[in-house]
Chain A
């Protein structure tokens, strides 16, 4: 058993993790998740934001068990392998902003990097421009890294800090199971504080237990193998290292084959599930997301799994994603299948400017 687990930190780790995600994600779609959305950190964070009432777009409100499971899987792995080391202090405020802007960019495209790869593997060719945008955004982040960009060092923190996020995730699980309804709307019907969609993507989900267990498995494997969908591109360009990229390539190939087997592969641009065909902003949204993820040190999945290790700065990034998920709908930033929203393009441009300023100005403070 230990040798299998040690295997996960070898070059095979990301490959095995990618293969497992490549099977489980399309299966989640088969079991009820929205199309090409077996796993999407951005869409799911947005759904959770909606369920918590941070936005009131009725079609995208659900507490996604994959996120809870993914976090808890990484948390358990970190505890078992003595990698649960609470830490914080590396520019948490900036990380919050990066999480928010990464979310805006991803929701203009309609997917995080995980879903970009899963969309490609489902035949959604709109993902091609999204992934190209992601590569450009990562490349831009690398320019800043080479110029000396750094969010500074974290410091060890009291153990209690590392338990805040597990407690929040357990609370989310309780909300999911109990769906508390304390309030009354103007007609006297029970409402909130937890909101679940009755139609739309938010009402499409695999059975709770399956989503939770699949999430646990993915979080466990990804924590061990350091799987990262942004690091994959970054390390290839910056370090000429294909360790993580292998995992992403395997994910795409295995998800493609699984989609074929399940009859879920449908090639084309038009009529793709939870997607639009505006190539410019599919590209632009992911440039912003790729830049923000790179400056923060990893993709949203990686941030979630780092949070599982007790990384308080990664928790701040996730908090930024939740708040960004709320704003993206209340400020008309998030796209819909009918196209980009009123303020999507403008927000991407503002976000790029802010992320570039962050890239140019953040340096390690000398003490």
Chain B
């Protein structure tokens, strides 16, 4: 996976995680995108935005502060 298909949203305030994920998903239109978050609010928000745009999500919880959201379409 290329680096461009990855958004590191750790430590960012609302709405940046969801906004950056949405921008990346719209740019890709299909393929895969990985978004890294470090809190439940960002995880919920990014997941909801991705689902609204019709993407499937796999969650890889590596630690409490590093959750990888893998999106596919």
Contacts and interface: CB of A to CB of B under 8 A. Distances in A.
A238 interface: yes
Given A9-B44, A239-B49, A243-B48, A145 B19 contact: yes
Nearest to B22: A239
A273 interface: no
Given A9-B44, A153-B10, A156-B65, A238 B15 contact: yes
Interface string B4-24: 000000111111101100100
A198 interface: no
A153 B13 CA distance: 7
B41 A145 contact: no
Contact of A150 (B12, B18, B48): B12
A159 interface: no
A241 B48 contact: yes
A191 B64 CA distance: 49
Size range of the chain B interface in the assembly = 20 to 34
Residue of B10, B13, B18, B22 most packed against chain A (CB within 10 A): B13
Interface string B45-59: 100110010000000
Interface string A211-241: 0000000000000001010010011001111
Contacts of B11: 87, 89-90, 152-155
Nearest to B44: A9
Given A150-B12, A155-B11, A297-B13, A238 B39 contact: no
Nearest to A91: B13
Contacts of B22: 239
Contact of A234 (B12, B15, B52): B15
Interface in B17-73: 18-19, 22, 39-41, 44-45, 48-49, 52, 64-65
Contacts of B14: 228, 231, 297-298
Contacts of B41: 226
Contacts of A179: none
Per DSSP, are chain B's interface residues mostly helix, strand or loop, or mixed?
helix
A155 B38 CA distance: 10
Contacts of A82: 64
Interface residues of A, number: 29
A241 B50 CA distance: 11
A241 B10 contact: no
A150 B16 contact: yes
Contacts of B49: 239, 241
Contact of A85 (B13, B16, B39, B52): B39
Contacts of B40: 9, 83
Contacts of B65: 85, 156
Nearest to A223: B41
Contact of B15 (A89, A145, A153): A145
Interface in A135-171: 145, 150-156
A79 to B, nearest CB: 14
A90 B13 contact: yes
Contacts of A87: 11
B22 to A, nearest CB: 6
A228 B45 CA distance: 13
Nearest to B41: A226
Contact of A231 (B12, B15, B16): B15
A271 B14 CA distance: 38
Residue of B11, B15, B48, B52 most packed against chain A (CB within 10 A): B15
A14 B44 CA distance: 13
Contacts of A235: 15, 18
Nearest to B11: A153
Contacts of A154: 11, 13
9 contacts: A82-B64, A85-B65, A145-B15, A226-B45, A235-B18, A238-B15, A239-B19, A243-B48, A313-B13
Given A239-B18, A241-B49, 8 more contacts: A85-B39, A90-B13, A145-B15, A152-B11, A153-B12, A156-B65, A238-B19, A239-B15
